[in-house]
Amino acid sequence: MENGKIRVFSGARPTGRQHLGNYLGAIQNYVELQKSYECIYSIVDIHALTTVETTKDLKQNCLEMALDWLAAGVDPEKSIMFIQSHVPQVMELHTMLSMVVPMGKLTDLPTFKEKVRMHPQNVNYGLLGYPVLMSADILLYKAELVPVGIDQAPHLEFAREVVRSFNFRYNTQVLVEPQIKVTTVPKVMGLDGVNKMSKSLNNEIEIAADDETTRKLVMTMVTDPQRIRRTDPGDPDVCNVFSFHKMFSSDEEVEEINRECRIAGIGCVDCKKRLAKNINASLEPLRSRRRKFAEKPDQVWEILYDGADRARKIADQTMLEVREAIGIPIYREF
């Protein structure tokens, strides 16, 4: 822990260019957390291997994600930002932890069953050990706090159980039980207005999209299904476009649209054009920063390498303590 600040860890799979759901749900929170905590943010590329069909875009996806994080304001001076596989100690800790996790515990996890259902053709060991690797991600850095949505809290409870099992088995206090920081994030629906915004559902707007692409996508958004004709009054409360206005438009404009929609004073086409304009205006500073970073990808890789160097220092110390606690002979490099 640096400067007495509580250490936070969060990881995200390299899904490439981030969309508005990622931005509003996670990345903005990353930026905010930096103000009060010592933050470690990892692009967890090894986790991605459990389900990806091809790795040909993996490297580029890591870079695209890093670009979005940096553009959004994740500050490498304040936070450690790195790629998971650049700190291979996490694989070693994963192996150590796997010795204290009962097999039945892993096969019983609802997330494992769900993944088996989704990827029946590829039920690999990595899928089963996923929560153990996720625990290793957190415990390697002795993170005290992990921000998660309420639906992910059970994952963290698993990591806490792993700590208790390990510390009990080896009669040590070396691993730190992380606390859950439940974050309330807006549920960002996709263009279809039915499902959460998701790349796999092809219903997303990328934060790095250009103005025209954003406008075209917004024009495809589903509105109040009961509003058929321009003269029909609408109901903003059931309209996804209105949900986005609440996130990107001024209070006055939200109030105006709420009022005018209900009396058919504004049409959906105009309403969407205004939304697209506001999204573009709001994201322009971020997009401008992203373009600058994207011109120098080598610098972005250097930022990631530097983050990995800093993460490795913490990881080395933890692994030394873990090896000592277990009783594994220490190699002279330690």
Residue 103 or 263 having the CB closest to ligand SF4: 263
Selected range binding ligand SF4 among 96-104, 115-123, 133-141, 235-243, rule: CB under 6 A: 235-243
CB atoms under 10 Å from CB of 184, counted, come to 8
From 78, 105, 181, 199, active-site residue: 199
102, 161, 177 from 99: Cα distances, Å: 8, 13, 18
Residue 174 or 197 having the CB closest to ligand SF4: 197
Task: State in angstroms the smallest separation of the CB of 28 from ligand SF4.
Answer: 24
Which of 101, 140, 146, 261 forms a contact with ligand SF4 (CB under 6 A)?
261
Distance between CA atoms of residues 16 and 66, nearest Å: 9
223 belongs to the binding site for ligand SF4 (CB under 6 A): yes
276 belongs to the binding site for ligand SF4 (CB under 6 A): no
User: How many residues line the site for ligand SF4 (CB under 6 A)?
Assistant: 14
Residue 279 or 319 having the CB closest to ligand SF4: 279
- DSSP letters spanning 46-103: HHHTTT-S--TTHHHHHHHHHHHHHHHT--TTTSEEEEGGGSTHHHHHHHHHHTTS-H
224 belongs to the binding site for ligand SF4 (CB under 6 A): yes
271 belongs to the binding site for ligand SF4 (CB under 6 A): yes
11, 63, 274 from 40: Cα distances, Å: 8, 17, 37
Which of 242, 244, 248, 293 forms a contact with ligand SF4 (CB under 6 A)?
242
Residue 89 or 243 having the CB closest to ligand SF4: 243
The whole-angstrom distance between residue 179's C-alpha and the CA centroid of its chain comes to: 18
Can you tell me which residue has the tokens 């650049």? 86
80 belongs to the binding site for ligand SF4 (CB under 6 A): no
279 belongs to the binding site for ligand SF4 (CB under 6 A): no
185 belongs to the binding site for ligand SF4 (CB under 6 A): no
The DSSP call for residue 144 is S
Rama region for 202: left / alpha / beta (φ>0; ψ in -120 to 50; rest):
left
From 196, 216, 292, 313, active-site residue: 196
Handedness of CA 136, 324, 106, 91 (dihedral sign): positive
Task: State in angstroms the smallest separation of the CB of 234 from ligand SF4.
Answer: 3
Residue 64 or 224 having the CB closest to ligand SF4: 224
CB atoms under 10 Å from CB of 109, counted, come to 17
Closest CA to 147 of 62, 251, 37: 37
249 belongs to the binding site for ligand SF4 (CB under 6 A): no
- CA angle, residues 67, 72, 78, in degrees to nearest 5: 90
140 belongs to the binding site for ligand SF4 (CB under 6 A): no
Handedness of CA 320, 322, 324, 326 (dihedral sign): negative
109 belongs to the binding site for ligand SF4 (CB under 6 A): no
Based on the residue annotation, tell me whether 5 is a catalytic residue of this protein. Answer: no
Closest CA to 170 of 16, 23, 322: 322
Residue 27 or 239 having the CB closest to ligand SF4: 239
Catalytic residue positions, numbered: 115, 196, 199
Q: Which residues bind ligand SF4 (CB under 6 A)?
A: 223-224, 227, 234, 236, 239, 241-242, 257, 261, 266, 268, 271-272
